[in-house]
Structure 1
Amino acid sequence: MKLKNKVAIVTGAGSGNGRAIALRLFEEGAIVVVADMNEAGANETISQAPEGSKAMVVKVDVTQKDQVDSMVAQTIQEFGKVDILVNNAGIVAFTPFLELDEKEWDKVHDVNLKAPFFCSQAVAKEMIKAGNGGRIINITSVEAHRVVSSSGHCQPHYNSSKGGLHMLTKAIALELSSHGITCNAVAPGVVQTPFTEKGLEIPEVKEWVLERLPVGRIGQPQDVANAVLFLAQDEASYVTGSTLVVDGGWTIH
């Protein structure tokens, strides 16, 4: 097992990519803190873990610093350390630029950018205390690197939040490198999750997506989870400040 006895926190682990990431880490022997606002979803994730897996559910709003600090404190109290943090929690909103209001702008940036800052800072402090290095992995998006236009409009708040997380990844990597802590990102393209399923059920939408995927298939949460697993391993200790794009070739064009 590649992550035996490693302690990981995965945010947004109650469904979709987060669930797949948590389950993949479980499979490799990690102890996983399944963090999500949806406590029922988090418990469902744990119910799917291999028999004998060690886990803890933490109900948390990652946009609230006090709740993030409590999540990390609970992890330390229960398991004594944090080796891996996966900042997966995120939201997407589709309001066009000219109709976008301040409330929605702030909400998207709070979840997609401020929350990973809170979580990374809190966890990094504990990693430095322990002195054993660590792995911070941010889930960004191909839309951190290119604007995708759909139905005549884009997602400026989503693009900018994920673009900000892309650069935050690099800044954290540089500052924490002397402590043996790496910080990298995984940038998924179109992945079939509960969030995207409805759109992908529309034939013309699915066709539009598949036309842009050289590999000829829609991504699955397991594809994202496998990328996270690579970056979480000791074998990836020489990789930091990088982004692993998992998009089926979408950004080749």
Structure 2
Amino acid sequence: MKLKNKTAIVTGAGSGNGRAIALKFFSEGANVVIADLNEEGAQETLRLAGAESNGLVIKMDVTKRDEVQRMIDETVRTFGTIDILVNNAGIVGFTPFLELGDKEWDQVHDVNLKGPFLCSQIAAKEMINAGNGGRIINITSVEAHVIVSSSGKCQPHYNSSKGGLNLLTKAIAIELAQYGITANNIAPGVVETPFTASGLSNPEAKRWVLDRLPVGRIGKPDDIANAALFLASDDSSYMTGSTVFVDGGWTAI
């Protein structure tokens, strides 16, 4: 029960890594806000947590400041405080660089970079007012550090959005340290989620990935959730501005 009496917000918790993180936090005693545009998926996450779990589903868009503020206000009204924020919501696009349009570029950056900025800023203000410190955990990607073209196409807008989030985490870690708030990244490699399902359904693409994984298997959402639990708990109190790679050794070769 490492998170007993703690309140956590997990964005994009209606499926995949976000769902696994939310369920892990529930199992460790936390109150969990399941925030997602997909309300049906978020309700399913809450159902999977079990009737004894203390959760709240909020349908919201991380790119809209007023909706983020509403999420924070509802969390405080329901649970009294915010101790942990996991910025997990994200999208990807596969349009090649020379064909990439403004709309897709803006959409990917709005969700992957502006969203965590808004959520972190508004949550941090509440954490500071409460005076109990806090944890901010951003889900970046190995693609914040290396170019991975597992789809056969580069993803410049995804790379730049996750690279920006990597440095945003470092910046807010420095600024918020004085308030006892830490900020760290988790950089997943290839993980079996709805996010990657279409690509991994192609046997050639899956083999291409497996050939580049020293551990010999594709990641599971629980692999990411275990890292999130570590960063959310007191076990990581001496870490801030860091990145935990959960990538099966992808970036080691």
User: TM-score, structure 1 length as denominator?
Assistant: 0.98
Report deviation, 1:235.
1.8
The one-letter code of the counterpart of 2:235 is E
Aligned partner of 1:24 in structure 2 is 24
Q: Is contact 1:134-1:181 (8 Å) kept?
A: yes
CA contact (8 A) 1:10 1:85 kept: yes
Q: Conserved in 2, the CA contact under 8 Å of 1:27 and 1:50?
A: no
Matches within 5 A, 1:173-188: 173-188=173-188
CA contact (8 A) 2:150 2:209 kept: no
Residues 32-65 of structure 1: CA deviation (Å, up to 9, x unaligned): 0000001110000000114411000000001000
- 2:169 aligned counterpart, secondary structure: helix
- 2:65 matched to 1:65? yes
> 1:196 Cα shift?
1.2
Question: How far is 1:198 from its partner?
Answer: 2.3
Runs of 4+ that moved beyond 6 A: none
5+ unaligned residues in a row in structure 1: which ranges? none
Partner of 1:8: 8
Cα-to-partner distance string for 1:188-218 (whole Å, 9 max, x where unaligned): 0000001212221211111100000000000
Q: Distance in 2 between matches of 1:62 and 1:197?
A: 23
The question of whether the paired residues in 2 share the 8 Å contact of 1:97 and 1:153 is answered with no
* Partner in structure 2 of residue 217 of structure 1: 217
Which deviations, in whole Å up to 9, do the C-alpha atoms of 1:92-149 show, x marking residues without a partner?
A: 1000000000010000000000000000000000000010000000000000001113
State the secondary structure of the residue aligned to 1:182: strand
TM-score, length-scaled by structure 2: 0.98
Quote the residue 1:199 is aligned against: 199
Sequence identity of aligned pairs in percent?
Answer: 71
SS in structure 1 of the partner of residue 22 of structure 2: helix
User: Which residue does the alignment assign to 2:166?
Assistant: 166
CA RMSD in angstroms comes to 0.9
Give the letter aligned to residue 83 of structure 1: D
Aligned residues: 253
Match of 2:251 in 1: 251
Partner of 2:119: 119
